[in-house]
Amino acid sequence: RLVEELNGAREELAEMHEGAKNLKDELLNLQSKHSEMIEDIMGKEKQIEEDAITLQEKDTKIHELELEIANIENALKEEREALNSKTNENENYKKCAEETIKSLNAEMEAKETALAESKENYESKIKRITEELKLSLIHICRCRRYAVCRSRWSPYH
């Protein structure tokens, strides 16, 4: 009878050993997936950093365009004042001044259009980076809190 119990215990031990091997394989698989997810997150973080640098450069460009528009507006104002004083003396000069004003207005509109497009691109990139950051944090949370999440929900999660 002891031999039978010993053989039964050996079979149980063999089954437990097999189960442990399966768990070990599953753990290795999960560790591999975890490593892949971390590499993916790191790649996304690097891309986000590169995008942030690009956004900073574009922000600088927008600021430069705004300063340039302000300078053009100041130059236009000064030129209008100068033209107003000279137009009283000569009617032909008035026509020339109007053409100059039109060209300056067209240039200013072009700069404002470029500024508006740059701002739209800047805002869309910020929105995309914000969304990617939220996704990255979700992945990090799931990876690092796997044991906590598993104990909170079903054991099969």
Report whether 59 contacts 122 (CB < 8 A).
yes
d(CA 25, CA 102): 76
Assign 86 a pLDDT band (cuts: 50, 70, 90). Answer: confident
Task: Give the residue with greater pLDDT, 114 vs 69.
Answer: 69
Mean pLDDT, the chain, integer: 79
Q: How is residue 157 annotated by DSSP?
A: -
pTM to 2 decimals?
Answer: 0.35
Per-residue pLDDT of 56-80, as tens digits, reads: 888 898 899 889 989 989 998 998 8
d(CA 33, CA 25): 12
- pLDDT recorded at residue 27: 92
